[in-house]
Copies of this chain bind each other. A is one copy, B any other.
């Protein structure tokens, strides 16, 4: 079973939207759902799972597990340019854990969530025989001026940027838990406004994730391998393109962002489909499969 196939099926099943529900602005297939509350307040909704043995090694320190669990969901809010406001945490904990470990984990998640602006307002708890699974829901508010930045807004002629060097999480042996780029995403919305056309967080790798923008926007993206910024310890552009979990953002824009924000231009949007990389030796290779497609 492959996640990508199932996710495609789910997105296809709701591609027709939600008839009779004009309050559902964006359904499955973007970083967050976008909905209107009954009084017409636009909100961002996202949920992410962090599973022992799949997303982290058993024995990882509690603070790192908590930061990763909260950070993954908060990064989806950053990917839309929004601010996290509230979080819910559901935990299925292996029965072998001591009470103190469970308490420490919840306290660490609560601290991390509060630090990102989205206090844990509720949750659910179960004791199981299985590896620990943490599921975090975050409710966010879009940028007040720009509104939600979707994957689907890229236009031919746009420049493609990333917010920083890629591959740091992998290069650290997955011990690094980066902070979601919430402040930077808000600064991009402030500075670029309507020129900021599309954005995604790089969770599975620049190749796969840029291809997701291309697909949702019905455009092509061409990356330039020589321009891709490498995190310390990353040896090649192929490693950088295929590395996720850094929480860096990839965005397309019709105007360059302020240099002070430190973003790096890595390609451009053209008419067409898919995501390709121009390699240093002059070839063009398909980047749509470069990254981590979780499967078993």
Contacts and interface: CB of A to CB of B under 8 A. Distances in A.
State the copy count for this chain. 2
A10 B102 CA distance: 10
Interface string A47-79: 111010111000000000000000000000000
A259 interface: no
A226 B104 CA distance: 44
A23 B140 CA distance: 13
A27 B121 contact: yes
Given A13-B107, A41-B39, A33 B86 contact: yes
A35 interface: yes
Contact of A21 (B26, B88, B103, B119): B119
Which range contains the number of A residues in contact with the other chain?
35 or more
A260 interface: no
Given A122-B27, A122-B45, A122-B47, A88 B137 contact: yes
B122 A46 contact: yes
B294 A126 contact: yes
B51 A128 contact: yes
Given A10-B106, A120-B28, A121-B27, A3 B126 contact: yes
Contacts of A99: 1-2, 5-6
B47 A127 contact: no
B124 A32 contact: no
A139 interface: yes
A296 interface: yes
- Tell which of A86, A88, A107, A122 has the most Cβ of chain B within 10 Å: A122
A235 to B, nearest CB: 29
A90 interface: yes
A93 interface: yes
Nearest to A121: B33
A121 B24 contact: yes
Closest A-B pairs by Cβ, 10 of them: A95-B296, A130-B130, A39-B41, A33-B121, A33-B122, A135-B135, A37-B41, A127-B296, A137-B137, A47-B88
